[in-house]
Structures are given as structure tokens and as C-alpha cells.
Amino acid sequence: MKTLSFLSLLAAGGLLALSGQAQANVCPEYLDVEARKLHSEENVNLCELTQGKPVLIVNTASNCGFTPQFEALEAVHQQYKDEGLVVIGFPSDDFFQEEDDEAKTADVCFVNYGVTFTMVATSPVRGGDANSVFQHLNAKSASPKWNFYKYVVSGDGKQVTQFNSRAKPDSEEMKKAIESVL
């Protein structure tokens, strides 16, 4: 009887462990994609990158009045990355303020502003051509009306809080939204 009880507990513990493992590998459908990294031939699997973590997603542009927000986005990335926040930038020319040459976009991000968070290749973020990540965000909240719209998304992808271009990434309002999903 003791052996059976012990085996039952062991089996139950194993099932719980497997259940926890399965949950850790669950990815919100909108992030179950690969995207090419900015100015690279390397792809990043957004599901593996985020692994159910909260995400700050931003549509960016190199030649916009809001481009200096890269500095605050990097600061937010540095502040919250160890707590699980993943920051992903999506350059877009939907508002005609992105470089035609990806190398120049990369220079703005990586050289001019020291961005270390993930930046993916330029793609549409609104309308019927929007990339799949922004199709999800647009359905959950609204399409960006300009560059540097910011989306704080819970780890399961169900909670989306949108901030317009004027919202500074390091503002108290944004930090509260980020901290609420950590």
C-alpha cells in the first residue's frame, strides 16, 4: 500500500511537472512566427524569444520626431529585462518616415541610439498588409495612427494596452502598465 501511494504521488508529481513544462512552452498565437532581424539574414522565433513573457511592442521609424524615444525604450528594456519584459521594435514605412535602406535603419537604431533590444526587419503595421503581430494588436486595440505607438501585452497575449506616440516609454503611465503584466 505504501509503495502504491508513493508511486501515485510520484506519478502525480510527474504529471504536474509535465503540465508546468507544457504551459511554459505555450506561445500566444500572434507570436508564433519567425521574423527576420533588422539588417540581417538571421531570423528570430518570436515565440522562443518571448516564452510567455510580457512584451512591449513598438512600431518605429528612423526619420520621425519621435525617433529619440529609442533612448527611453532602451532604458525601459534595461530596467525590466531581468523581470521578464521583452521589447521588440518593428520598423515600418507606413507613415513614410523610414529609410529605404535597412542598413541606414540599423545605424539609427544600433549606432545612434545604442538599441540592444530585438529589432525586426521593416514591415507594414496597419491595413490589410500589416504583419501578423500587428494584425493581432490592431484587432485587440487599434491600428497605430503614427510611428512609435506602443503596446504593452501580457504574457498570454490577451491583455493589450496601447499608448500613442506622445506617451514616453519611461513615463509613469507606461511603467505602471508594464509592471501590471510582469
Report the predicted TM-score, pTM, of the whole model to 2 decimal places: 0.86
Q: Is 64 considered catalytic here?
A: yes
86-144 per-position pLDDT tens digit: 999 999 999 999 999 999 999 999 999 999 999 999 999 999 999 999 999 999 999 99
pLDDT in tens, 43-75: 999 999 999 999 999 999 999 999 999 999 999
Residue 8 has pLDDT above 60, yes or no: no
Write down all domains in the chain, each with its CATH number in brackets.
Answer: 28-181 (3.40.30.10)
Q: Which of 27, 47, 64, 109 is catalytic?
A: 64
Please give the pLDDT value at position 18: 35
* HEC profile of 87-122: EEEEECCCCCCCCCCHHHHHHHHHHHCCCCCEEECC
